[in-house]
Amino acid sequence: MWLQREITLPARPRGFHLITREVLAALPELRELEVGLLHLLVQHTSASLALNENASPDVRRDFETWFDQAVPERAPYWTHTLEGDDDMPAHVKAALIGPSLTLPVARGRPALGTWQGIYLCEHRDRGGERSVVATAWGSRSAAEAG
């Protein structure tokens, strides 16, 4: 089975946001896969995707704090500044984390660890809606294939 779908995520403020439930809700067909892969690509240059701790909101806040200090706004070396102080730092943060994830699928769900969740990493103050292209492929379970 092959499946590809664009998932539109609502605008969020700058930060690291868990989107695991939204992704799974948009892909009910994943439940048919016994084994496969799920690839996710955020189609923006100022947002990224990550896989990390899904329980403590402190982790997401700490990520944001670290990235804001490591890649500061209004640094004297930025030359791409026409779109605002947060634009070039957002591009750098997105490049560091990356635009995509490839996850194994087992028995109808992403085979994530106990404390792992999918993050949308929004690096702009007002990034707007974000589009994620989800591509899943794999073998259906015997019950679904029959």
Q: Is position 146 within any domain?
A: no
Q: Is position 115 within any domain?
A: yes
pLDDT digits (tens, 9 = 90+) for 18-29: 999 999 999 999
**Domain of residue 97, CATH code:** 2.60.120.460
Q: Is position 13 within any domain?
A: yes
Q: Is position 132 within any domain?
A: yes
Number of domains in the chain: 1
Which tokens sit at 121? 């990493």
Q: Is position 145 within any domain?
A: no
Mean pLDDT of 66-95: 96
Residue 146 has pLDDT above 90, yes or no: no
pLDDT digits (tens, 9 = 90+) for 95-112: 999 999 999 999 999 999
Q: Please state, in angstroms and rounded to a whole number, the distance separating the CA atoms of residues 56 and 137.
A: 31
Domain ranges, residue 119? 2-139
Strand partners, 15: 122
Q: Is position 16 within any domain?
A: yes
SS3 84: coil
Q: Is position 57 within any domain?
A: yes
Average predicted confidence (pLDDT) for the chain = 95
Q: Is position 52 within any domain?
A: yes
**How many residues are listed for the chain in this entry?**
146
Angle at 130 between CA 78 and CA 110, to 5 degrees: 115
Q: Which residues contact 17 (CB under 8 A, 6 or more apart)?
A: 60, 119, 120, 121, 122
Q: Which amino acid is at 45?
A: T
Residue 145 has pLDDT above 70, yes or no: no
